[in-house]
């Protein structure tokens, strides 16, 4: 966790970050976000990290959202397109979903990381 702090990933409604979700967030940062931030060279803002089930419902997240496990974060910066390229080139991610104003990126500590790049409206 070089460029990010744990508190940036706590649930936006209740401030929670359960232990397993915390471990997953650390893995997401160390494998995906820190290396991307290093290459990008400018701040990355975390819109959303871990979500408790209640908050996930409130924001319209899918039922099995990786946010529920701390495996995903929504982030933004001054050049989301460039940041997406960097993440793709680094090659370590599970899902990378490019939204108009932010990127959703995830990482799994176990199983296969799919390197799935998608666009969403
Ligand atoms: Zn919450």
Q: How confident is the model over 84-111, as pLDDT tens digits?
A: 999 999 999 999 999 999 999 999 999 9
Mean model confidence pLDDT for the chain: 97
49 CB-near residues (< 8 Å, 6+ apart)? 8, 9, 10, 11, 17, 25, 67, 70, 72, 73, 74
**In the prediction, which pLDDT does 121 show?**
75
The predicted model scores a pTM of 0.96
Q: Which residues pair with 98 in a beta bridge?
A: 103, 119
Instruction: Classify residue 60 by burial, with Cβ atoms within 10 Å: 0-12, 13-18, 19+.
Output: exposed
| Domains parsed from the chain with CATH numbers | 6-119 (3.30.1380.10)
Q: How far is the centre of ligand 1, averaged over its atoms, from the C-alpha of 15 (Å)?
A: 6
Question: Is residue 26 over pLDDT 80?
Answer: yes
**In the prediction, which pLDDT does 94 show?**
98
Identify the residue whose tokens are 């975390």.
46
Q: What is the mean pLDDT of residues 67-91?
A: 98
Q: How far is the centre of ligand 1, averaged over its atoms, from the C-alpha of 82 (Å)?
A: 31
Q: Which residues surround ligand 1, an ion (CB under 5 A)?
A: 11, 13-14, 52, 55
Q: What is the mean pLDDT of residues 50-57?
A: 98
Band of pLDDT at residue 38, cut at 50, 70 and 90: very high
Q: How far is the centre of ligand 1, averaged over its atoms, from the C-alpha of 55 (Å)?
A: 5
Spatial distance between the Cα atoms of 63 and 30, rounded to a whole number of angstroms: 26
């Amino acid at each position: 966790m070089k460029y990010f702090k744990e508190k940036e990933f706590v649930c936006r409604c209740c401030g929670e970050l359960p232990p397993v979700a915390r471990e997953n967030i650390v893995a997401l940062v160390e494998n995906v976000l820190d290396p991307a931030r290093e290459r990008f060279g400018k701040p990355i803002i975390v819109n959303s990290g871990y979500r408790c089930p209640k908050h996930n419902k409130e924001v319209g997240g899918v039922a099995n959202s990786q946010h529920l496990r701390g495996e995903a974060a929504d982030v933004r910066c001054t050049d989301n397109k460039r940041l997406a390229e960097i993440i793709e080139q680094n090659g370590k991610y599970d899902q990378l979903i490019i939204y108009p104003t932010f990127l959703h990126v995830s990482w799994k500590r176990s199983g296969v990381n799919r390197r799935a790049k998608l666009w969403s409206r």
